[in-house]
Chains A and B, each alone.
Chain A
Amino acid sequence: MRLNLTINGAKHTADDVWPGESLLYVLRERLGLAGSKNACEQGECGSCTVYLDGVPACSCLVAAGQAAGHEVVTVEGIGGGDEELHPVQEAFVDAGAVQCGFCTPGLIVAAHNLVERTDEPSDEEIREELAGNLCRCTGYEKILDAVRLAAARKQEAGT
């Protein structure tokens, strides 16, 4: 089938999509947007998290056809392009919240969603909000630091 959808603000078309393909497969293997990661394909690890019409979703659990005509934002669309980082991305780098980095794209989307919606999130809120994103390297301590840092910088900037 032919699939039309909007990704990071641009219209995309994929041809010969097999109906069993997930949104994640189409992003990664047909459209060259490999930022979203496939680590479990069961919606358990959050590595493939994207915005679907503004709501974070595991793209591995979305059939590609379900995304037809909808708006998708991936990790590639979070920053300003040309390696200009969103404050959440910057905070992950500054805080040392990245090790192997395989979970990072999904965490960036999830943390972006939290920081954009919530001023001064408590540690409990951060933990609950990011509980769907598995990280095997960091023990999450520096990820908490990164989210706290991004939230604090946002407060300072008054945005």
Chain B
Amino acid sequence: MTVGTPDNLASSTRGGVGQSPHRPDGTHKVTGQFAYSSDLWHDDMLWGMTLRSPHPHARIRSIDIGPALATSGVYAVLTHEDVPGTKYYGLEENDQPVLAVDTVRYQGEAVALVAADHPETARRAMHEIVVDYEVLDPLTDPVRSAFDPQAPQLHEHGNVVRHQPVRVGDVPSARSRADVVVTGEYEIGMQDQAFLGPESGLAVPGEDGGVDLYVATQWMHTDLRQIAPCLGLPEEKVRMTLSGVGGAFGAREDLSMQVHAAMLAMHTGRPIKIVYNREESFYGHVHRHPAKMRYEHGATADGRIVYATARIVLDGGAYASSTTNVVGNAASLGVGPYIVPNVEIDAYGVYTNNPPCGAMRGFGAVQACYAYESQMDKLARELDVHPLEVRRINAIHQGAAIATGQVVDTPAPMTEMIDRLRDAPLPEAVESGDVRNLPGGVSNTTHGEGVRRGVGYGVGLKNICFSEGFDDYSTARVRLEVVGGEPAVLIHTAAAEVGQGLVTLQGQIARTELGVERVSIAPADTQVGDAGSSSASRQSYMTGGAVKRACEAVRERLFHLAAERFDVPAEQLSLSGGKLVSEHSGVLVALADLLGDAAIEETREFHHRPTTGMDPVTGQGDTHTQLALCIHRAVVDVDVELGLLKVVDMTAVQDVGTVLNRVSLEGQIHGGTAQGLGLAVMEEIQLADGKLTNPSFTDYLIPTILDMPPMRLDILERADPNAPYGLRGAGEPSTLSSTPAIAAAIRDATGLQIDRVPVRPHDIVRPVTG
């Protein structure tokens, strides 16, 4: 018997679009009843475990599984030779081996699998596997990988995954018109998504030779497209169901344990549970691309930007993952939400022997934002104007074009947002009363002496939904029938609830569109059409749009039914309180009576408006579906003697088009701000010659409740007529602007350049010499 597989979620609370009903999974989550992928259990299950490479770069001479297989309690030991189908997979390029074939390209690459009756048995057996490695020099410098022809080639098709230029106007002649020029070299460290629920799941072998997979992922159908060929199975024999997801933030867009668990299940004929521990999780998913960026901006004396150049090098690590699209974002959003008439951007994503990097909240836009916002601050200093003023002078607006030539054709209220932020009240001066409010906190390192306060700003521009011509769609099936005498709606999609509250929103949409109270959300699985990924801030837009369409189709059929039965024009009908209402004669019939035993079920796809690719030479094109803005002001207290700091206030202004659920929305902006704060002041995967030196929560720090300041939000609603309900995707933008605002505040407090994040104590306090 399998324990912990998902049931329908009863979204029984009231509340349509615009309200903030409770999460339908909230009660289960606060009582511990909600089953995550690591909580799954089967009476006959075995534990799977993954042997990983200790070397960032090596050739495999041989693998001896004999001693491991002979261990009591071990049921299988598998290597690449046991992969039933294609040995390689990938989100955008099939370049990543299911299990290393003859080369390992990063430390932590999966080499072999073990299935055993206890996790400790599996762990011990794993250490009995003998792998003979010929250790090679790792290529760890992304700039060398991009530009040094002597650098070793890590893949047959070269080291550059993508180079995307953007060319607008004539930079050399614009340079001669600039009164001030600012340049900078910026660096951003490797950030980890650090979701709390590690990679895990259960694979159950089917009687038909297929497999049932219960996993935590962001995009089941793209998992399926990669898993099935590796298993040598047709897609219909790989049945995927979304289990409880303990956060995602991009890290679950690539496969982790899916193929491995399925291979072990098919090989042993037993259900297989795999759960990574925290250390393995650091090796088990991609990270945010670290970046090295060189920027130059020129402006006239009155503050108008006349040109910008940028070279952005993104370290993709050992495998491509989503590097191609991360480069597209970094390039197309490379100068941010500013009108820049002459542009030269070159964005590169390259292979190295560092850990693979891919999707993380903000996706390529985060890196560029830190650099162009740092440049805006330099420009403001050079021009001796307020940092917000230089941003205001050059701000995009509806009707203006971004660097790709794409005209912003929906509201972009950037100047209004700047003005509102400028008017937002500042927190009180440094408090010396309670050490918990000072840098160093309860370590009691200062009572206010040596502490300087700084204020800084950041603006970010993020694309919403998938870009560059991708036909990005979602599918929803909506069923209306009478259950227990009441009309009830069941919504079925493959969209991944990863914590963001999509299950709540789906119920709100059904209640709004169909006027019923009882709504249930079916478990997400691959028995319904593709919903696309829970990423790119796109699910409210895309799956929200699909649920709305399917509800509308159900409603149309209801109206048609009623129009015939009551001989009234369908266009005069509406639904409210579980009843069908006519404009002229009032309540016609209760839905339950109209439906009787019949069920109305409709499935609809929602596609956003088409986008184009980027021109390979000029980068021009209408590449983005929707653009979103967020602005932050950070206030930071810095102990300049010890290099300790405390962010004391974060105030954000964000345009969200339309508020669909204020509580969920605020949670997204808060959470994005927190991850941006982490990137600014503490979060970095540290590498030494390609090896991780801090793969634990002891050494990789994420913000605690003590690190987070009070966050004040000012939410604007300037509806986008192209989007369902006028909404604007809201999951990511705050992650962009938070980091540069904090960096700017530290600059303001210290007078230092702060050209690298995360900012470390020794970046603030220079060692005393002499």
Contact = CB atoms under 8 A, between A and B. Distances in A.
A158 interface: no
Contact of B663 (A38, A96, A135): A96
A100 B247 contact: yes
B7 to A, nearest CB: 14
A20 B22 contact: no
Contacts of B277: 38, 41
B27 interface: yes
Nearest to A128: B436
Given A102-B247, A130-B705, A124 B437 contact: yes
A70 interface: no
Contact of A47 (B120, B196, B442, B674): B196
A139 B670 contact: yes
A85 B436 contact: no
B544 interface: no
B147 interface: no
A36 B437 contact: no
Interface stretch (B33-41, B57-65, B182-190, B410-418): B33-41
Interface in B270-284: 275, 277-278
A151 interface: no
B514 to A, nearest CB: 25
Nearest to A78: B31
Contacts of A52: none
Contacts of B30: 75, 85, 89-90, 92-93, 98, 101, 104-105, 108
Contacts of A85: 27, 30-31
A131 to B, nearest CB: 5
Interface residues of A, number: 60
A143 to B, nearest CB: 7
A27 to B, nearest CB: 10
A95 B32 CA distance: 18
Contacts of B672: 139
A44 interface: yes
Contact of A137 (B38, B244, B247, B696): B247
B197 A140 contact: no
A28 B38 CA distance: 10
A102 B705 contact: no
B596 interface: no
Interface in B661-707: 663-664, 666-667, 670-675, 696-698, 702-706
Contacts of A55: none
A44 B698 contact: yes
Contacts of B193: 136
Contacts of A74: 32
Given A28-B39, A127-B705, A100 B195 contact: yes
Contact of A134 (B34, B196, B667, B670): B196
A94 B30 CA distance: 11
Contact of A100 (B22, B33, B246, B706): B246
B246 A127 contact: no
A79 interface: yes
Interface in B13-56: 20, 22-23, 25-27, 29-36, 38-39, 41
Interface string B389-427: 000000000000000000000000000000000000000
Given A137-B667, A138-B671, A139-B708, A98 B29 contact: yes
Given A128-B442, A133-B705, A134-B704, A39 B31 contact: no
A89 B23 CA distance: 13
B27 A93 contact: yes
A118 interface: no
A75 B196 contact: no
Interface in B217-268: 244-249
Contacts of A38: 38, 198, 275, 277
Nearest to A93: B26
B704 to A, nearest CB: 5
A141 B32 contact: no
B705 A143 contact: yes
Nearest to B195: A136
A39 B25 CA distance: 20
Contact of A39 (B26, B246, B498, B674): B246
Nearest to A104: B29
B710 interface: yes
A138 B703 CA distance: 11
Contact of B197 (A37, A90, A142): A37
A57 interface: no
A103 interface: yes
Contacts of A79: 31
A42 B705 contact: no
A142 B705 contact: no
Contact of B34 (A29, A101, A142): A101
A35 B674 contact: no
A110 to B, nearest CB: 10
Contacts of A39: 196-198, 246, 278, 697
B111 to A, nearest CB: 23
B500 interface: yes
Contacts of A149: none
A35 B670 contact: no
A34 to B, nearest CB: 4
A139 B674 contact: yes
Given A35-B32, A75-B32, A139-B671, A134 B702 contact: yes
Contacts of B667: 96, 99, 137-139, 141-142
Contact of A141 (B36, B278, B501, B710): B710
Given A45-B196, A134-B697, A144-B705, A35 B671 contact: no
Interface centre among A32, A78, A100, A138 (most CB of B within 10 A): A100
B302 interface: no
B754 interface: no
Contacts of B708: 139-141
A101 B25 contact: yes
B766 interface: no
B436 A75 contact: no
Interface in A70-127: 74-76, 78-79, 83, 85, 89-90, 92-96, 98-105, 108, 124, 126-127
B768 interface: no
Given A76-B31, A139-B671, A93 B702 contact: no
Given A32-B3, A42-B278, A130-B705, A136 B247 contact: yes
A-B pairs, top 7 by smallest CB distance, nearest first, are: A35-B32, A100-B499, A101-B29, A102-B246, A139-B670, A139-B674, A96-B663
28 contacts: A20-B120, A33-B32, A34-B39, A35-B31, A35-B32, A38-B38, A39-B196, A41-B278, A42-B696, A42-B697, A42-B698, A44-B698, A75-B30, A89-B30, A89-B31, A94-B22, A96-B666, A100-B196, A101-B29, A101-B34, A102-B195, A104-B30, A124-B434, A134-B697, A136-B702, A139-B703, A141-B666, A143-B705
Interface of A: 18, 20, 28-29, 32-42, 44-45, 47, 74-76, 78-79, 83, 85, 89-90, 92-96, 98-105, 108, 124, 126-128, 130-144
